């Protein structure tokens, strides 16, 4: 389908542009009348979970006591774009109060800060450059990586600089489970597919240790480079500071890791003088020459939160692209059926589930929507069902045949997450994204010995030699295990074929990076599994370029629209099932409650899917 806009689309765009320019002219006239209300610095508070894009939530959640929607980097992108438009605002101030963000979010924030500086220099060449200031109440690796892209970093007197490095720690339950008569049977394609190691191994295997080593090498190198570049330090000095951490606020200031020690209430006075000038510039004294005295500097800068300031900011109107870029949110553990989620974390009711039925509906809606010139799929998934992954892959492959499909990977797009990314004509990730894990694993819990210990007898009647294939009552027979292994190999071969076709590689090249190996985005780029490193706006710009849409943010506003299934239903439905298995497969340490429910959860998942599971098994990086 051509991306050339129709005559009707051009007419509608012209009417819209004229109307928006009239509204902007009125707003800017009102702004001039209330100029004294303009802030010097627009403030943002980061005090809860940060996501790349805003998740869809039902309207009633706004009325749930104590519930706050997550902050999204995409929303911050739009807000900073507005601030950059204003020639009179001096900068932005971020108050970071216990924000929860992952390393990819930190890298995306850093990219956003750099983009903000670029917008400001291009739009306001005659004005003093706007500056970005961050007050950190707590300093950990992720928040500090984002802060290093800002112009000034402040901490409170009792803040501790706790960028202490990285650590992967896994727990192993094989011997503990054996004490109660429970054991795991595992079939996997290669030793790097470590998803079930916590149940099947007594300790970290050599293959798992090697994988964790190359992951930490990549992530640690990125962290050191970002701190060195942001703070003007040598990489060797940064490594020494990390090795010596934690540091007090005074020690961090002396080492050049922060710029000042302040309480929040002192920021207005500190920012009263432009940062390039001394913080205690003297006021000029009148002389008897008859010359007028220089105006006194204000005693405090005007700080105003974005919610109160955005209506006062100068408005620049840009033509909008005639056609839009569709944005698909493919987040969650992959399962068959409908997507499921629950807004409140509850025992036995874990994170989001990405369902194949829901993805089919929403991808088909994107194909039908003639207003969409291209689609960006945001993938944040540790994997899950192979069957559901393949169904999603098919729909995305059909979409890619009709419209440019760009894949943007969030914090993790591994195993099934990479499977559904394979049809993309362009794949983009952040350096800290965990991806790959091209491999297959299946496992089940055997409770035969546990029942014996409890003197519980199980009798069964069946028809069919393999009717007991999914029972936890006994181990697989040799013939059954051979059947299971054949199934795993079949799925693995299909997985590699999907990757080879999507990435224009031969099977031998895929073998070199597959086998369940997990890579960072930086390593995946070296291995040809992704096409570029960057953030979501870069992925949207790439999609616009592939669709022959104007992608220059300074001259054109690219229309981006979330894609739903056409009947008002987005991917995540307000319902959530138990997901201990998904948490286990994603490498999260299972709780005692998880272990107690493990056998029934495995059986339920296998019986409902009848498919092998694709999921990565990398524990969380501390």
Dump pLDDT digits (tens) for 580-602.
333 333 344 444 443 333 344 44
Rounded to an integer, the average pLDDT of 174-181 is 92
What pLDDT shows up at residue 353? 84
**Bridge partners, 260 (sequence order):** 154
Q: Which residue has the tokens 């010097």?
A: 40
Superfamily per CATH, domain 38-164+245-312: 2-enoyl-CoA Hydratase; Chain A, domain 1 (3.90.226.10)
What pLDDT shows up at residue 336? 87
**Which is more confidently placed, 406 or 570?**
406
What pLDDT shows up at residue 296? 58
In this structure, what token pair is assigned to residue 164?
Answer: 């202490």
Rounded to an integer, the average pLDDT of 484-492 is 91
Q: From CA 289, how far away is CA 593, in angstroms rounded? A: 83
What pLDDT shows up at residue 118? 96
**Bridge partners, 383 (sequence order):** 615
Residue from 14, 27, 5, 111 nearest 541 by CA: 111
Q: From CA 360, how far away is CA 338, in angstroms rounded? A: 10
At 288, is the pLDDT very low, low, confident or very high (cuts 50, 70, 90)? very low
What pLDDT shows up at residue 595? 38
**Backbone conformation region of residue 91, classed left if phi is above 0, alpha if psi is from -120 to 50, else beta:** left
What pLDDT shows up at residue 275? 60
| Stretch among 188-197, 308-317, 358-367, 576-585 having the lowest mean pLDDT | 576-585
Is pLDDT above 70 for 41?
yes
Looking at the domain 320-615, which fold is it?
2-enoyl-CoA Hydratase; Chain A, domain 1 (3.90.226)
Residue from 250, 273, 277, 245 nearest 261 by CA: 250
**Which is more confidently placed, 380 or 286?**
380
What pLDDT shows up at residue 59? 54
Rounded to an integer, the average pLDDT of 395-404 is 97
Is pLDDT above 80 for 6?
no
DSSP 8-state symbol, 568: S
Q: From CA 479, how far away is CA 231, in angstroms rounded? A: 62
Q: From CA 149, how far away is CA 136, in angstroms rounded? A: 14
| Whether the Cβ atoms of residue 521 and residue 431 lie closer than 8 Å to each other | yes
Rounded to an integer, the average pLDDT of 441-460 is 90
At 284, is the pLDDT very low, low, confident or very high (cuts 50, 70, 90)? very low
Sign of CA dihedral 604, 605, 608, 611: negative
What pLDDT shows up at residue 16? 73
| Stretch among 237-241, 273-277, 397-401, 556-560 having the lowest mean pLDDT | 273-277
Is pLDDT above 90 for 55?
no
Q: From CA 212, how far away is CA 582, in angstroms rounded? A: 20
User: Cis before residue 246, ω within 30 degrees of 0?
Assistant: yes
Give percent of the chain with pLDDT exceeding 70.
Answer: 80
Residue from 453, 330, 349 nearest 395 by CA: 330
Residue from 167, 176, 165, 172 nearest 205 by CA: 172
Average pLDDT of the chain, as a whole number: 84
What pLDDT shows up at residue 289? 38
**Which is more confidently placed, 21 or 129?**
129
What pLDDT shows up at residue 401? 97
**Which is more confidently placed, 585 or 86?**
86
Q: Are strands 613-615 and 383-385 parallel, antiparallel or unpaired?
A: antiparallel
Determine the number of helices (DSSP H) and then strands (DSSP E) in the chain: 21, 24
Is pLDDT above 90 for 498?
yes
Give percent of the chain with pLDDT exceeding 90.
Answer: 61
At 291, is the pLDDT very low, low, confident or very high (cuts 50, 70, 90)? very low
**Bridge partners, 441 (sequence order):** 188, 613
**Sequence-distant (≥ 6) Cβ neighbours of residue 408 within 8 angstroms:** 376, 377, 378, 379, 428, 429, 536, 539
Rounded to an integer, the average pLDDT of 422-426 is 97
Domain-wise residue ranges, the chain: 1-33, 38-164+245-312, 320-615
| Whether the Cβ atoms of residue 521 and residue 380 lie closer than 8 Å to each other | no
Q: Which residue has the tokens 């739903």?
A: 564
| Stretch among 190-199, 265-274, 382-391, 561-570 having the lowest mean pLDDT | 561-570
Dump pLDDT digits (tens) for 292-306.
444 556 788 999 999
Is pLDDT above 60 for 368?
yes
What pLDDT shows up at residue 295? 54
Out of 47-56, 150-159, 432-441, 594-603, the most confident range is 150-159
Residue from 312, 523, 335, 483 nearest 416 by CA: 335
pTM, full prediction? 0.85
| Whether the Cβ atoms of residue 40 and residue 273 lie closer than 8 Å to each other | no
Q: From CA 598, how far away is CA 410, in angstroms rounded? A: 28
Is pLDDT above 60 for 522?
yes
Q: What is the 3-state secondary structure (H, E, C) of 450-480?
A: HHHHCCCCCCCCCCCCCCCCCCCCCCCCHHH
What pLDDT shows up at residue 276? 53
What pLDDT shows up at residue 569? 42
């Amino acid at each position: 389908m051509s991306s050339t806009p129709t005559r009707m689309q051009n007419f509608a765009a012209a009417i819209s542009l004229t109307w928006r320019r009239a509204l902007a002219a009125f707003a800017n006239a009102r702004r001039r009348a209330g100029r004294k209300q303009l802030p010097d610095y627009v403030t943002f508070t980061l005090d809860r979970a940060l996501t790349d894009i805003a998740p869809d939530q039902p309207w009633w959640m706004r009325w749930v006591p104590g519930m706050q929607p997550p902050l999204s980097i995409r929303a911050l992108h739009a807000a900073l774009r507005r601030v950059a438009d204003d020639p009179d605002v001096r900068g932005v101030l971020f108050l970071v109060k216990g924000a929860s963000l992952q390393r990819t979010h930190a890298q995306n924030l850093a990219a956003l800060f750099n983009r903000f500086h670029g917008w400001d220099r291009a739009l306001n060449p005659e004005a003093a450059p706007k500056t970005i200031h961050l007050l950190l109440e707590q300093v950990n690796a992720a928040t500090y990586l984002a802060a290093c892209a800002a112009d000034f970093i402040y901490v409170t007197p009792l803040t501790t600089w706790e960028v202490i490095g990285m650590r992967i720690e896994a727990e192993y339950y094989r011997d503990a489970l054996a004490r109660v008569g429970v054991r795991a049977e595992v079939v996997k394609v290669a030793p790097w597919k470590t998803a079930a190691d916590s149940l099947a191994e007594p300790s970290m295997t050599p293959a798992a240790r090697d994988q964790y080593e190359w992951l930490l090498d990549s992530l640690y190198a990125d962290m050191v480079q970002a701190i060195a570049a942001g703070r003007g330090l040598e990489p060797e000095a940064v490594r020494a500071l990390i090795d010596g951490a934690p540091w007090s606020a005074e020690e961090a200031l002396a080492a050049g890791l922060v710029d000042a020690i302040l309480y929040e209430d002192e920021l207005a006075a500190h920012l009263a003088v432009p940062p390039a000038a001394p913080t205690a510039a003297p006021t000029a004294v009148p002389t008897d020459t008859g010359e007028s005295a220089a105006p006194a500097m204000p005693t405090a800068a005007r700080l105003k939160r974005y919610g109160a300031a955005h209506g006062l900011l100068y408005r620049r109107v840009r033509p909008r692209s005639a056609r839009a870029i569709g944005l698909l949110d493919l987040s969650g553990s992959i399962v068959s059926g409908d997507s499921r989620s629950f807004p409140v974390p509850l025992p036995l009711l874990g994170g989001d589930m990405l369902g194949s039925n829901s993805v089919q509906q929403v991808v088909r809606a994107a194909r039908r929507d003639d207003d969409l010139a291209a689609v960006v799929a945001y993938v944040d998934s540790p994997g899950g069902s192979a069957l559901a992954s393949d169904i999603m892959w098919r729909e995305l492959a059909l979409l890619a045949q009709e419209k440019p499909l760009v894949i943007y990977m969030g914090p993790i797009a591994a195993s099934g997450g990479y499977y559904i990314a394979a049809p993309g004509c362009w794949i983009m990730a952040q350096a800290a994204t965990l991806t790959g894990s091209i491999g297959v694993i299946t496992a089940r819990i055997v409770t035969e010995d546990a029942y014996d210990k409890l003197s519980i007898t199980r009798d069964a009647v069946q028809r069919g030699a393999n009717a007991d294939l999914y029972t936890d009552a006994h181990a697989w027979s040799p013939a059954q295990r051979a059947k299971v292994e054949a199934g795993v190999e079949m799925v693995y071969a299909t997985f590699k074929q999907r990757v080879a076709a999507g990435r224009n590689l031969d099977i031998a090249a895929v073998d070199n990076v597959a086998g369940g190996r997990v890579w960072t985005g930086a390593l995946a780029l070296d291995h040809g599994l992704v096409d570029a490193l960057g953030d979501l706006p870069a992925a949207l710009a790439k999609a616009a370029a592939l669709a022959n849409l104007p992608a220059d943010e300074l001259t054109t506003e690219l229309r981006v629209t979330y894609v739903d299934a056409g009947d008002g239903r987005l991917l995540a439905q307000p319902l959530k099932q138990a997901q201990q298995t998904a948490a286990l497969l994603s490498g999260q340490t299972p709780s005692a409650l998880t272990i107690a429910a493990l056998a029934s959860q495995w059986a339920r998942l296998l019986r409902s899917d009848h498919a092998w599971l694709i999921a990565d098994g990398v524990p969380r990086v501390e």
